[in-house]
Amino acid sequence: MAHLITALILLPIAGALVLCVVRQSHARGIAFAFNALSAALAIALWRNFDTAAPGLQMVERHNWIPAIGAEYLLGVDGLSLLLVLLTSLLFPFAFLAQRGGRGFCALMLLMQSALYGTFTAQNFLLWFLFYEMSLVPAFLLIKIWGGEKRDGAATKFFVYTFLGSVAMLLSFLAIYFVRGTFDLAALATLGKTGILTGNMAWLAFAGIFLGLAVKVPLFPFHTWLPDAYESAPVGVSMVLTGVLSKMGVYGFIRLLLPLFPHEIQILGPWLLGLAVCSIVFASLAAWAQSDLKRMVAYLSINHLGYCLLGLFAIAASSPSALIDRQAVLSGVFIQIFNHGVTAAALFYFVGLLEERRGLRGLNDFGGLMQRTPLLCGWMSVAMFSSLGLPGLNGFIGEFLIFKGSFAVAATFTAVAALGLLVTAIVFLRAMQALFTGPLAESCGALPDLYLREKCIIVPVTMLMFALGIAPQFVFNLFNTTVVQMARLFA
């Protein structure tokens, strides 16, 4: 069990290599088998994880390039484990949603490996390696298998995120030259007293902020996202929104907040303003979309905006109560997980509609409820979950985030609550256009859910209900980590 995390990271790569030599027709099955193995490993990781113990667990530490402070340092805490589990959950889901040949499956597996690495690496260089490694498969997946606008979208996606990454790398080099370490935990403790001084600190902060803000994305660095999500094939969109966007939030929690507490405090209102803009503008923009995929993409920005709102709120106001910090951190963690599940499900449903109809505009459908009641019913569950209906998973995270941030930044939070309203409008408008009214002629022959689709949807929906009604089992994963981090951010 000593090298469980390494095994987890290498397994998808091994899968990708195996895929190079098998027949096209077997590719999806083999990829799925490797996914199952990964999921088993992730569950083993979960079983071995002691939820009561603070700090990193199952640490693997080896020298890599001592001359530049690079270490092979892996470890998991509650947050990492949560994201590893989310990754293991969403990739099979994405594979089931999307047909693909050898190349497609191999690239997806590479991306999966990179994600595992990103969420478990505890040394910046190693983390950055995996962080960038995820970018290449994502680019190729959009570029090769994407929709009609794929070329522009893929280039935009790549250039945007790569630019951000370069800025982040430079900032970390600056930090390394001063502090002499890339160890994230060590840097976090140094951050309390100011990791850098003077202009250098602001430059480094700006670089890291840019890199992460592009990835999440935070307004106004988000314009790559609608294009990318719209153009990507459904399975890739699911992974992009479900897991890849979480890398940015994860980065904010792991890197920016611990390293630059003073800078964030000084910039607090501005950062909160950006988060609120993310929430409000993205939801308003979603309202104006007529393409379902683009609409869901904008709502993805909106939902991650809540996470950043909470994080900035507790980091920006220095005397925040312990309960608020814990509420926000728990809320952000659970929101990450919930959004991963829900947004992926929404993309899946959009994919089903597109598969059946060949189009995915809001106006290309009508009165589906009469023709495909099951599809509409289950899709509505996902939509209500996304708009934060209590009893489904979306509510818990939003409630906790708002609870914590309202106590320290009431005005911003109150404005952000508009996002909740507009999200509801967006989804109800979509439901009205898609499901109700007289059956559109073009939709007269659409089939309802097939058995295999039901087999995918039902467990996912059950998970949404479970998370909404009795979420304790997820909270158990990270409560210790939340307590520890809440103390760190004090």
Partner 1 sequence: MTSWILAHLWLIPAAPLAMSLLILGLAGSRPRTGSALAIIGQVVALGLAVVAFVPTLETPGFRTFQNFTWFTFGEQALRIGWVLDPLAAAMLVMITFVGLWIFVFSTGYMAGDKNFSRFFAYLSFFSAAMLGVVIANSLLLLFVCWELVGLASYLLIGFWIHKPSAAAATKKAFITTRIGDIGLFLGILWLYGGSGTLLFYDGGNGCLEKTGLLALGASASFIALLIFSGAAGKSGQFPLHVWLPDAMEGPTPVSALIHAATMVAAGVFLVARMYPLFSFGALDGVTPSLTVVVWIGVVTALMGALIAVAQADIKRILAYSTISQLGLMMVSLGVGGVAAGIMHLLAHGFFKALLFLGSGSVIHGCHHEQDIRKMGGLRRIMPVTFLAYAIGMMALSGVPLLFSGAWTKEEILHATAHWPRSPVPYYLMMAGVVLTALYMTRQMICVFFGKPREAAERAHESPSVMTIPLIVLAVCTIALSAVLTPAWPWLHSYLTGEPAQFDLGRLIQPMLFVSLALVAAGIGLGILFYRNAGRDDPLARSQPLLFRFLENKMWLDELYAKTVIAWSAMFSKLSDWMDRHIWDGLARTIGGAGQLIGIVSANFDERGINAGVDESAAGTRGLGRLIAARHSGRIQTYMGVIAVGMLALLVLYAWLT
- Interactions with partner 1, residue window 320-359 (CB under 8 A): 322-327, 329-331
293's enclosing H/E stretch is helix 292-316
Q: For partner 1, give the closer residue by CB, 248 or 331.
A: 331
Q: For partner 1, give the closer residue by CB, 7 or 439.
A: 439
Find out whether 129 and 145 touch, Cβ atoms under 8 Å: no
Of 224, 308, 222, 306, whose CA–CA distance to 267 is shortest?
308
To partner 1, the closest distance from the beta carbon of 183 in angstroms equals 23
Find out whether 203 and 239 touch, Cβ atoms under 8 Å: no
- Tell whether residue 151 is a contact of partner 1 (CB under 8 A): yes
Candidates 53, 288, 458, 462: give the one binding partner 1 (CB under 8 A).
Answer: 288
- Tell whether residue 269 is a contact of partner 1 (CB under 8 A): no
Judged by CB under 8 A, which stretch of 79-87, 97-105, 187-195, 436-444 contacts partner 1?
436-444
# of chain residues touching partner 1 (CB under 8 A): 80
Judged by CB under 8 A, which stretch of 94-102, 112-120, 339-347, 416-424 contacts partner 1?
416-424
Joined together, the tokens standing for residue 307 give 């996470």
Judged by CB under 8 A, which stretch of 132-140, 254-262, 305-313, 479-487 contacts partner 1?
479-487
Candidates 49, 406, 412, 489: give the one binding partner 1 (CB under 8 A).
Answer: 406
Of 279, 258, 128, whose CA–CA distance to 205 is shortest?
258
Find out whether 234 and 347 touch, Cβ atoms under 8 Å: yes
Q: For partner 1, give the closer residue by CB, 33 or 469.
A: 469
Judged by CB under 8 A, which stretch of 29-37, 67-75, 437-445, 446-454 contacts partner 1?
437-445
To partner 1, the closest distance from the beta carbon of 9 in angstroms equals 30
To partner 1, the closest distance from the beta carbon of 21 in angstroms equals 33
Binding track, positions 7-46, relative to partner 1; x by CB under 8 A: ----------------------------------------
- Tell whether residue 459 is a contact of partner 1 (CB under 8 A): no
Separation between Cα atoms, residue 301 and residue 48, nearest integer Å: 34
- Tell whether residue 248 is a contact of partner 1 (CB under 8 A): no
Annotate 221-239 with DSSP letters as a single string. S-THHHHHHHHS-HHHHHH
Token pair 């979509």: residue: 430
- Tell whether residue 449 is a contact of partner 1 (CB under 8 A): no
**What's the helix, strand, coil split of the chain in %, to 5?**
80, 5, 15
Candidates 7, 188, 439, 488: give the one binding partner 1 (CB under 8 A).
Answer: 439
Q: Cα–chain-centroid distance for residue 238? A: 10
Joined together, the tokens standing for residue 438 give 């007289």
Inter-CA distances, 135 with 236, 420, 482, Å: 12, 31, 29
To partner 1, the closest distance from the beta carbon of 433 in angstroms equals 9
Find out whether 105 and 95 touch, Cβ atoms under 8 Å: yes
Judged by CB under 8 A, which stretch of 53-61, 266-274, 390-398, 448-456 contacts partner 1?
390-398
Q: For partner 1, give the closer residue by CB, 4 or 443.
A: 443
Separation between Cα atoms, residue 256 and residue 247, nearest integer Å: 13
Judged by CB under 8 A, which stretch of 44-52, 339-347, 351-359, 481-489 contacts partner 1?
481-489
Judged by CB under 8 A, which stretch of 67-75, 102-110, 241-249, 388-396 contacts partner 1?
388-396
Candidates 35, 118, 161, 413: give the one binding partner 1 (CB under 8 A).
Answer: 413
- Tell whether residue 410 is a contact of partner 1 (CB under 8 A): yes
Annotate 352-421 with DSSP letters as a single string. HHHHHHS--BGGG---HHHH-HHHHHHHHHHHHHHTT-TTSHHHHHHHHHHHHHHHH-HHHHHHHHHHHH
Return the amino acid letter for 129: L
Token pair 């998973």: residue: 393
Candidates 119, 252, 260, 281: give the one binding partner 1 (CB under 8 A).
Answer: 281
- Tell whether residue 375 is a contact of partner 1 (CB under 8 A): no
Judged by CB under 8 A, which stretch of 185-193, 255-263, 266-274, 394-402 contacts partner 1?
394-402
- Tell whether residue 284 is a contact of partner 1 (CB under 8 A): yes
Return the amino acid letter for 95: F
- Tell whether residue 454 is a contact of partner 1 (CB under 8 A): no
Find out whether 361 and 292 touch, Cβ atoms under 8 Å: yes
Q: For partner 1, give the closer residue by CB, 95 or 333.
A: 333
The residues near 379 (Cβ < 8 Å, ≥ 6 apart) are 346, 349
Find out whether 330 and 476 touch, Cβ atoms under 8 Å: no
- Tell whether residue 312 is a contact of partner 1 (CB under 8 A): no
Beta bridge partners of 73: 61
Binding track, positions 54-93, relative to partner 1; x by CB under 8 A: ----------------------------------------
